[in-house]
Amino acid sequence: HPQFAVFGHPISHSLSPLIHQAFAQQFGIALDYRTIDAPADTFAEAVKRFFEQEGGRGANVTLPHKAAAYALADERTQAATHVGTANVLTRQADGRLVAHNTDGAGLVRDLTDRHDLDLRGHDALLLGAGGAARAVAWSLFEAGVQTLTIVNRSPQAADVVADAIGEPARVHTRYWEDLGNIGCFDLIVNATSAGTLGQSLTLPFALAGARAVCYDLGYGKSAFSFLAWARAAGALHAYDGLGMLVEQAADAFELWHHKRPDTEPVYQQLKAHIA
Ligand code: ATR
């Protein structure tokens, strides 16, 4: 019986088991999917054991292990290589582990399919330049945003992300201190970990244009402060990252089971679960 799991630390509040079980039910698949709590120093060992001794076929990987998962894989998809982290590991028939990153594609599909946004022609602002931000920067760029402005508290990290994409006419950086005078945006994505850390961001209202869509990659308590800012700033829409979570999970599910789940009922179920 193939085994599936999500690795993280902590992991007890992960919604991945619920999501994958709901997908499996859509196809009548009896799924073995568990949480594996692995501290950083034993993560690589736990992954090896899971795939080599416990029948592991696929794993989701969440904080703080995404960079380690990327590093230990035998092969890496282009999306994972762009980002340098992995949120999905799959075991091939020959035993080799493949690292995938489906986070950015998950965000783009949530924006375009669920929230009906046409990204082409949008001027996007990305706040943050850590692992989460790298994943979505590439995907937003590839989805065709007109411009992508990356702003990070430490400016060097933003420059590294922009330089890696290497399209200075469309992707550039600004200083955090200048957020008040860089104009307004149609799409503002919060990819900082401030909310998760219980810190609030002080952002100028002027950033949100009249048709602004504001999106926090987090959900629940960690998204609260940014989404409250977005509403106060008069944004047209303020979304949390639950849709992205379901969409990135759908990509993992398809990699493992070769079936495309219907994400909408699961998204609705999670919204009720979180509320
Ligand atoms: P993740 O995996 O969630 O992306 P990360 O790689 O540690 O986590 O990145 C955290 C990001 O949130 C960074 O861009 C960080 O900015 P710095 O590079 O300047 O540290 C950003 N961040 C965290 N707390 C923040 C705060 N209070 N204000 C602004 N940015 C913050």
Residue ranges matching CATH 3.40.50.10860 in the chain: 3-101+245-274
Confidence of residue 148 (pLDDT cuts 50, 70, 90): very high
Ligand 1 centroid to 185 CA: how many Å?
21
Percent residues over pLDDT 90 in the chain: 97
Ligand 1 centroid to 255 CA: how many Å?
30
Rounded distance, CA 101 to CA 79, Å?
6
What pLDDT, on a 0 to 100 scale, did the predictor assign at position 210?
A: 87
Nearest CA to ligand 1 atom 22: 192
CB of 225 sitting under 6 A from ligand 1: no
CB of 157 sitting under 6 A from ligand 1: yes
The minimum-distance atom of ligand 1 relative to the CA of 200 is 27
Return the structure tokens found at 36. 């594996």
Beta-carbon contacts of residue 78 (< 8 Å; ≥ 6 apart): none
pLDDT at 158 over 90: yes
What is 104-240's CATH number? 3.40.50.720
Rounded distance, CA 5 to CA 57, Å?
9
> Model confidence over 175-214: pLDDT tens digits?
999 999 999 999 999 999 999 999 989 999 999 988 999 9
**Best residue for ligand 1 mutational test, from 103, 136, 153 (most atoms within 8 Å of Cβ):** 153
What pLDDT, on a 0 to 100 scale, did the predictor assign at position 197?
A: 94
pLDDT at 36 over 90: yes
Ligand 1 centroid to 226 CA: how many Å?
14
pLDDT at 262 over 90: yes
CB of 130 sitting under 6 A from ligand 1: yes
Residues known to be catalytic: 66
> Model confidence over 40-99: pLDDT tens digits?
999 999 999 999 999 999 999 999 999 999 999 999 999 999 999 999 999 999 999 999
What's the Cα-to-Cα distance from 95 to each of 124, 141, 185, 225, 262, rounded to whole Å?
Answer: 41, 34, 46, 44, 30
Residue ranges matching CATH 3.40.50.720 in the chain: 104-240
**Among the CATH numbers 3.40.50.10860, 3.40.50.1820, 3.10.450.50, 3.50.50.60, which is that of 3-101+245-274?**
3.40.50.10860
**pTM score of the predicted model:** 0.96
Could you write out the three-class secondary structure of the chain? CCEEEEEECCCCCCCHHHHHHHHHHHCCCCCCEEEEECCHHHHHHHHHHHHHCCCEEEEEECCCCHHHHHHHCCEECHHHHHHCCCCEEEECCCCCEEEECCHHHHHHHHHHHHCCCCCECCEEEEECCCHHHHHHHHHHHHCCECEEEEEECCHHHHHHHHHHHCCCCCEEEEEHHHHHHCCCEEEEEECCCCCCCCCCCCCCHHHEEEEEEEEECCCCHHHHHHHHHHHHCCCCEEECCHHHHHHHHHHHHHHHHCCCCCHHHHHHHHHHHHC
pLDDT (mean) for 224-245? 97
CB of 194 sitting under 6 A from ligand 1: yes
The minimum-distance atom of ligand 1 relative to the CA of 199 is 27
Confidence of residue 275 (pLDDT cuts 50, 70, 90): confident
The minimum-distance atom of ligand 1 relative to the CA of 176 is 29
Rounded distance, CA 269 to CA 264, Å?
9
CA neighbor of 251 nearest in space, from 97, 95, 90? 90
